[in-house]
Amino acid sequence: MVDDPPNRFCVGYTIQYGMYVRNPYVPGVQNVNMTLNVSDTYPNGATERLETNLFLLVNETKWYYRSYVVEAGDVGTKITNHFRVNGTTEVGENVSDTREKDSYILDPGINITKVASPTSGALGTDVNFTITVTNTGDCTLDSVEVVDTLPVGMSFVSADYGGSESPPGSGTIIWDLGTMVSGATHAPIHLVAHIDVGAAGPLTNNVLATGTPENSMCDDVTDSDDAVVTVTYSIAGMKFNDLNGNGVKDAGEPGLPGWTINLEQPAGTVINSTTTAADGSYTFTNLEPGDYTVSEVLKAGWAQTCPPTPGTYSVTLTDSPVIDRDFGNRGALSISGMKFNDLNGDGVKDAGEPGLEDWTINLVGPVSGTTTTAADGSYTFTNLEPGDYTVSEVLKAGWAQTCPAAPGTYSVTLTDSPVIDRDFGNRGALSISGMKFNDLNGDGVKDAGEPGLGDWTINLAGPVSGTTTTAADGSYTFTNLEPGDYTVSEVLKPGWVQTCPAAPGTYSVTLTDSPVIDRDFGNRGALSISGMKFDDLNGNGVKDAGEPGLPDWTINLVGPVSGTTTTAADGSYTFTNLEPGDYTVSEVLKAGWAQTCPPTPGTYSVTLTDSPVIDRDFGNRGALSISGMKFDDLNGNGVKDAGEPGLGDWTINLAGPVSGTTTTAADGSYTFTNLNFESF
C-alpha cells in the first residue's frame, strides 16, 4: 500500500491510498491460483469490503484506490489505514496478508500583529509601526514572508530586518524571514511611514504574513492585521528671542525653550497648555476643526514683540494644519557699570578717579555680546533676558586689574530687575626707571666706578605724572604707569651740569606693553677751586708784587671729587668739574722750601655750593743758606790757617734763583739765608 509522499497532512486534505494484491510467482516452488477476500479500514475505523472471492492467477496483480479527507479530529495525531487480504489456494491452503500506512496530521499556524505609535498623527509626521510574527503551529514553517501594504496617504520611510519597498514607491514593503520553528517569535520588526501632506484619515495599514509548513502536503498558512492611524490637525509656531526687537524672527535669533503656550476655546478658556521645546517650537496636535485662540504666558524680565496687541493669535482650523504662529520676546533687563582708572590701586572708585574710555567689556550668558566703554568709562548691556551671566573686561597691555577680585569677572543672575555698579578698576602696570650718576669723566655714559647720586629729584609728566627722589645708589623708578607718552626730567642742583641725556636733557618715553629701563641722568660738578703757588720772597705769607709763581708744584684735592694737579708756568692751578661739598686743598712741599701760607695746618678747607672758589694760594720761600768767611790769607796758601784774621765790611754778592748782597761782619763772616734748592 502506498500514499502521497510525504506522509504529513493537514485538515481537509484528501489522502489518496493506492493498494494492490498480487499472487506472486516464486521459482522452484509450486505456484497455484488462489481465491481471496479484500477489505480496507479507514483511519476513522470504517471498514469496507473491497472484493469477495477474488480469483488471482499465478503472477496476477489487482489494484485498488481509496481516498480519505482529513478531519478536524485527526489534528495532532497519527492516523493509520489498514489493508487486509485473506483466502485459500486451489490446493486448499489458507493465505492472508495485512498492510498499514501511517499519516501524520499537522496543525500549522502563523500569527501577525501590528501596532502603530502614535495611533494618531498630523500631516507631515512619521508613524512607527511594530510588527510581531509568531509560528503558532506544531511544525516548522519555511519561506515565511511578511508583506505590508501602506494605504494611500502614507509613504515608506524605513524598515529594519531587510524590509524593502518593492517596487520603490509602490507602498508595498516585503520581509523574507526565512524558516521559523514551531513556537518561535521573530524579533519585533519596525516600520516607519510618513503621513503625507493632503492625506485624508483614517489611514488603515494592512500587513500579511505567509508561511509554508515544512515537508508536508499542507497549504500555506497566513494571517493579517490592520493598524489604523487617525489623521489630526495642528497649530504650531515658535517662541523666539527677538534680539533686535523688530517683531520678526530673523536668522540667528534663537528659540526660547520652557515657555508656556496656552490654547483657548473659546477665547479666555484654556483647554490645553504646552511648553516650548529646546528650539523654542511648540505644537498643539489632535485638534478638531474649529476656532481657537493661542496665547503665551509672559515671564518676568521679558517684553513681547509679536504678535501685535492683544498679543494673541485667532486661528480657524478647517482641513489643514496651521503653522508659524510665532511669539517674539526680548529681554527687558540690563547690566551696567563703570571702567575707571584706580589711581591708588585700592579697588574702589574714589572721587577724582577718572573713567577709562574705549575699553572692551564682554558679556557671556543667555545673551552674549561686547560693548565699549563711553567717554566717561560707563558701559551698559541692554535688552537682556533673565539668567546667569558673566561680565568681563579685555585687559589692555600695560594695565593691571584692581577690581573685581579674582578671577576678575562678575557673575550676575538677572531675574526681574536691572543690575548696576559692576565696575572694573585698573591701574597702570608699567614702569620707567633709570639711574642718576656722577659722570666723573663727563662722557655722558655711566662707566664702571662712577657712583650714583642719591636724593636728586626726578619728574614724570604724562598720563600719570609724579615726582620721585633717587635712592642712595642713584636709582629711581616710577611704577603703576599706564600706557602713553611720558617725559622724564631731572631737577638740576646748583653746582652741577648735566652730561646726559642730550639736549634738551629729558627723555621722551612711549609706554606700550613693557617697562622701560635705563633712562639715566648723568651729571658732573660745575664748580672749581683755583689758586697760585708763589715764591714768598719776603716770607710775609702774602703774594706781593714781584713775587713770582712757582711752576711744577703738586697740589692735592680731597673731597667729593679728589685729584692732583701741577702748577702751571705762572704758578697757577685749578681743579675743575667739582661738585658741591667739602674739600681740602693741600700742597706737596718740596725739599729746601718752607711754607709761608696758608697758616697751620697749611691746607685750605673749602665748601663748594653754587659758585667757584678762587685765591686758594700757597706761599713758600727757601729754607737753605750759603755762608762763609772773608779772611786775610797771610801766607797766601788759599787756606784759612790759624791766626789769619777775618776781614770785616767786605761786600759779598749772590747770584741765582735768589740774588743778593751782604757785607762781612767784623769777624769777616757772611750768610745768605732763605735760599731754595737751586744752583747759585
Cβ burial, residue 555 (10 Å; 0-12/13-18/19+):
buried
Do 207 and 136 lie in one domain? The reply is yes
In a domain, 658, yes or no: yes
- Residues 343, 444, single domain; the answer is no
Q: Are 74 and 147 found together in one domain?
A: no
So what's the pLDDT on residue 36? 64
Q: What is the DSSP-derived secondary structure letter of residue 202?
A: -
CATH of the domain at 129: 2.60.40.1530
Please report whether residue 650 resides in a domain.
Answer: yes
Tell me: do 636 and 649 sit in the same domain.
Answer: yes
Report if residue 83 sits inside a domain: yes
How far is residue 422's CA from residue 403's CA, in Å, rounded to a whole number?
A: 10
**Could you tell me if 117 and 218 lie in one domain?**
yes
Q: What is the pLDDT of residue 529?
A: 96
Q: In what order do the strands lie in the sheet with 484-490?
A: 466-469, 457-461, 484-490, 507-511
Residue 433 contacts residue 479 (beta carbons within 8 Å): no
By C-alpha distance, which of 199, 230, 225 is closest to 130?
225
Q: How many domains does the chain have?
A: 7
Tell me which long-range contacts 495-498 makes (C-beta under 8 A, separation of at least 24).
495/525, 495/526, 495/527, 495/578, 495/579, 495/580, 495/608, 495/609, 495/610, 495/611, 496/523, 496/524, 496/525, 496/526, 496/579, 496/580, 497/523, 497/524, 497/525, 497/526, 498/522, 498/523
DSSP 8-state symbol, 65: E
Across 324-386, the runs of DSSP E, i.e. the strands, are 327-331, 333-341, 360-364, 369-372, 378-384
Phi-psi region of 252 (alpha: psi -120 to 50; beta: other; left: phi over 0): left
- Asked whether residue 253 falls in the same domain as residue 284, the answer is yes
Taking the C-alpha atoms of residue 237 and residue 296, their distance in angstroms, rounded to an integer, is 11
Residue ranges making up the domain that contains 265: 232-329
Same structural domain, 77 and 185: no
Q: What is the pLDDT of residues 428-451, one digit of tens each?
A: 999 999 999 999 899 999 999 999
Same domain, 131 and 27: no
SS3 label, residue 14: strand
Q: What is the pLDDT of residue 3?
A: 46
> What pLDDT, on a 0 to 100 scale, did the predictor assign at position 400?
93
| Residue ranges for the chain with pLDDT beneath 70 | 1-6, 25-36, 38-43, 201, 676-680
Residues 306 and 419 in one domain: no
Query: Is position 375 within any domain?
Result: yes
Cell numbers at residue 584, please? Answer: 681740602
Look at residues 428, 454, 483 and tell me which one is the last residue of a structural domain: 428
Q: What is the CATH number of the domain that holds 577?
A: 2.60.40.10
Q: What is the CATH number of the domain that holds 79?
A: 2.60.40
Domain ends where: 525, 554, 580? 525
Mark whether 499 and 402 lie in a shared domain.
no
Rounded Cα gap, residues 122 and 103, in angstroms: 56
- CA 597, 598, 600: angle at the middle one, nearest 5? 105
Whether 591 is in a domain gets the answer yes
Q: Are residues 508 and 544 in the same domain?
A: no
Q: For residue 465, which of 436, 432, 514 has the smallest C-alpha distance?
A: 432
- Residue 340 forms part of a structural domain: yes
Residue 401 lies in a domain: yes
Furthest-apart CA atoms within the chain: distance in Å: 231
- The length of the chain in residues reads 680
Q: Cβ–Cβ contacts within 10 Å for residue 511, how many?
A: 24
Last residue of a domain, one of 468, 494, 525: 525
CA distances from 408 to 264, 332, 371, 422 (A): 50, 26, 17, 11
> What's phi and psi for 186, nearest 5 deg?
-70, 150
Among residues 72, 93, 86, the alpha carbon closest in space to that of 30 is found at 93
**Amino acid making up residue 160:** D
> Residue 578 CA to chain centroid, in angstroms?
63
3-state secondary structure 123-136: CCCEEEEEEEEEEC
| Residue-level pLDDT at 310 | 94
| 474 shares a domain with 515 | yes
Residue 680 domain-assigned (yes or no): no
